[in-house]
Amino acid sequence: MEAVIESLIAWWPFWLGLAILAALILLMQIWALPRNLPYLARGQLVTKSELKFYKSLSKAVQDDFQIFAMVRIADLLRVEKNNKHRRKWLNKILAKHIDFVLCDPGTLKPLVCIELDDISHQRPERIERDKFVNQAFKSAQLPLLRIPTQPEYRSREIRELIESVR
Q: Note the pLDDT tens digit of each residue in 74-83.
A: 999 999 999 9
List pLDDT tens digits, range 122-148. 898 899 999 999 999 999 999 999 999
CB 60 within 8 A of CB 159: yes
Stretches in the chain below the pLDDT threshold 50? none
Rounded Cα distance between 65 and 111, Å, is 9
The pTM assigned to this predicted structure is 0.76
- Residue 132 burial (10 A CB sphere; 0-12, 13-18, 19+): middle
Q: How many CB atoms lie within 10 A of CB 12?
A: 10
Sequence-distant (6+) residues with CB within 8 A of 41 are none
List pLDDT tens digits, range 44-53. 989 999 999 9
